[in-house]
Structure 1
Amino acid sequence: MSDFSLRRQARLRREYLYRKGIEERHATVKQKKNKIKDAIDGEKEIPTALKQKALGYMASGEWDDPGPKLAAELGGEAAGGSTDIDDEYRWAGVEDPKIVITTSRDPSSKLKQFAKEIKLLFPNSQRINRGNYESKQLMEACRSNDVTDFIVLHETRGQPDGLVVSHLPNGPTAYFTLADVVMRHDIPKIGTMSEQFPHLIFHNFKSKVGLRTQNILKYLFPVPKEDSRRIVTFINWDDWILFRQHTYKKIDGGKDHELSEIGPRFSMKLYKIIMGTIDQENAADTEFVLRPYMNTAKKRRFLSDDDPW
C-alpha cells in the first residue's frame, strides 16, 4: 500500500472518530435531558445525579424543538441513541454485505469444518486460509476489495471457542467467546442447508450494549425476500447469545408450520467491543469490556437490563 493510501486511510479514520466522539457527547446530554423532562412531566423527583445540572439543561430550551428528537427516533435510536450508525453501516440494506472468514493459524480439522459451516451461514461470504499472513495484511487486502466484514474463528485444543467480527473500514470490532458448539453433522435429523437469505429473530436485546450487539450481528446478513423460509435466531439468555438456524414448511394445507433445524448450533458471549478494526486493537478505544467480577449489589446483565456504560 502506498504512502498516500496510508495517509488517506489514517485521515478518514481520524475524521470518523471525531464525528463519533461529538455524536456520543450529544447523545449523552440528550439522554440526561430526557430523564429530567420525563421526571418533570410525570411529577416525579429529578434523579439526584442530575439535580445540579437540571437548571442549566432547562435553560437551553432544546426540548421545545422536535427536530433533533424526531431525527433520533427515525435514525440513531436503532443504534442505541447515537447516529454513528450512519458512518458505520451507511449502506446496510442498500448493498449486500461482503464477508471474509478465516481462522487462527494452524487450525485443526474441526475448526476448518466449523469455518466451512460458518461460511454457509452468511450469504455472500468467502473463506480464506490464514497461512502466515498478519492481521494487518489481511485487513489491507479486505479494504482494497470492498469487504464489509472480517470474521476470525479461534480454538483451544481443537475446540472452537472464539469469534471476532470486525466491520470495515473503521470498525466496530466485537469479540465473542464460543461454547457448546455442535456441528451440522452432529445434529440428529438435520435438515437440508438452505441458501436463501434468512429472516432474523433477536430476542431480549434491550440495553444499549444489547442494541449495539444486535446491530453488529444483524448487518452481517442481507435483506431477505418475503418468501424466504430460512430463519436465524439469536436469543439472549443471561448474557449468553444462543444461536439456532431453521427452515420451515407449511403443513395441513398451510394452516400450520413445521420447523427443521439445519445447524450449526452454538452459544456466544460478548466480552469486548472496540472502536476500530481488528488490526487496530491496541490503538483503538474500548467501547465496551466485560468485567464479570465487578462489585455490584446485584448481578448485572449487559445485553438486556439497564445501560451498564
Structure 2
Amino acid sequence: MLRREARLRREYLYRKAREESQRAAQDRKEKVRRALEENRLIPTELRREALTLQGSLEFDDAGGEGVTNHVDDEYRWAGVEDPKVMITTSRDPSSRLKMFAKELKLVFPGAQRMNRGRHEVGALVRACKANGVTDLLVVHEHRGTPVGLIVSHLPFGPTAYFTLCNVVMRHDIPDLGTVSEAKPHLIMHGFSSRLGKRDDSHRVITFANQDDYISFRHHVYRKTSHHSVELTEVGPRFELKLYMIRLGTLEQEATADVEWRWHPYTNTARKRVFLSAE
C-alpha cells in the first residue's frame, strides 16, 4: 500500500512538472507569435531560439482552450460527486476551539467533524484517504483563541497553512440568523480563479482578498421586495493569512517541497511577498 501510494505521488509530481515546462514553452511561443503579428522586435531573451519557436508555431492549431491539467484531474468529479470534508482540531482542544470546529462544519455542506483524541497526524491522513475524504481541515488555537487553519487536499496535496485573525464565533454575533443547509453561493473578490456554475441558494459565503488577507463572511438572505434583499450574518467570521503551501499532504511536513512561503522580513515591495524556489 505504501509503495503504491509513493508511486502515485511520484506520477502526480511528474505530470505537474511536465505541465509547468510545457506552459513555459507555450508562453515563449506566444511572445514570438505576438511580436511577428505586431511587427515588433523579438524579445532579447528569445532571439537565439526564435527560429525554432517560429517553426513550432506552424504545428499549433486553434481550439486548444480547455485542455485538462492536473488541477482539472483533481476536481474532475466537481459537480458530480460532493467533496468529503473532514474537520478536526489540535490535541487537547479547549471548549471554544471545539465550538469553532462545529461552526466550520456548518459552513461546508456535508462536512464531518472528528474528535482528535490521541491520533497522530499520519494516522489521521491514512484514515481519511481510506474513507475517500477529499480535504482535511485542522484548526489550532492559542489560549482558547483559534489562530491557525491547515487545509490539506487529499490524496496528494497540496497543503495550505493559514493564520486566523479577528475570529468571531457565531454566538458572539448579535441578531444571529439561522444557518441554512443549502449549498451556498460563493462570492470571490480579489481572486483570479475560475468559478463554476452555482446552484440557486439563499446562503452566501464570501472570500474577499485585500492586501493578502482573505476575509471570510457567511450570510443568509431573503427577498424583501422585487428589487431588494435583506442580508443576515450567521457566522463565523474571520480573516485568513496564507503563510505557506507545501506540495504534499499534512503528514509529509518533513519531506514535501515548499511551493510558496510568506517572508515577512524580505526587503521587497509593499506586500513583501515572493515565491520561494525551495
Pairwise same-fold verdict (TM > 0.5): yes
Aligned to 2:215: 242
Aligned to 2:94: 108
Match of 1:233 among 181, 186, 206: 206
Q: Deviations over 1:279-305 (max 9, x none)?
A: 112212222212233332x32486xxx
Q: Is the 8 A contact 1:88 1:170 kept in 2?
A: no
Structure 1 residues 116 and 75: alpha-carbon distance in aligned structure 2, compared to 1, 3 A threshold: farther
2:21 partner amino acid: R
Which consecutive residues of structure 2, in runs of 5 or more, have no partner in the other structure? none
Give 1:47 deviation, angstroms.
Answer: 4.2
Aligned to 2:270: 299
What does 1:207-226 correspond to in 2, within 5 Å?
Answer: 211=193, 225-226=199-200
TM-score if structure 1 supplies the norm length? 0.82
Runs of 4+ off more than 6 Å = 306-309
Aligned to 2:75: 89
Q: 1: distance between equivalents of 2:236 and 2:39?
A: 51
Give 1:40 deviation, angstroms.
Answer: 3.9
Structure 1 residues 286 and 36: alpha-carbon distance in aligned structure 2, compared to 1, 3 A threshold: farther
Q: 2: distance between equivalents of 1:293 and 1:75?
A: 39
1:205 partner amino acid: F
Q: 2: distance between equivalents of 1:42 and 1:269?
A: 42
Give 1:198 deviation, angstroms.
Answer: 0.2
How many residue pairs match? The answer is: 277
| RMSD of aligned Cα (Å) | 2.4
Structure 1 residues 145 and 28: alpha-carbon distance in aligned structure 2, compared to 1, 3 A threshold: same
Structure of higher RCO (CA pairs closer than 8 Å, 6+ residues apart): 1
Give 1:75 deviation, angstroms.
Answer: 4.5
Aligned to 1:270: 242
Bigger helix share: 1
> Is residue 2:148 matched to residue 1:162?
yes
Q: 2: distance between equivalents of 1:259 and 1:308?
A: 41
Q: 1: distance between equivalents of 2:59 and 2:205?
A: 40
Match of 1:21 among 14, 17, 24: 17
TM-score if structure 2 supplies the norm length? 0.90
- Report percent identity of matched pairs: 55
Q: Is the 8 A contact 1:16 1:87 kept in 2?
A: no
2:20 partner amino acid: E
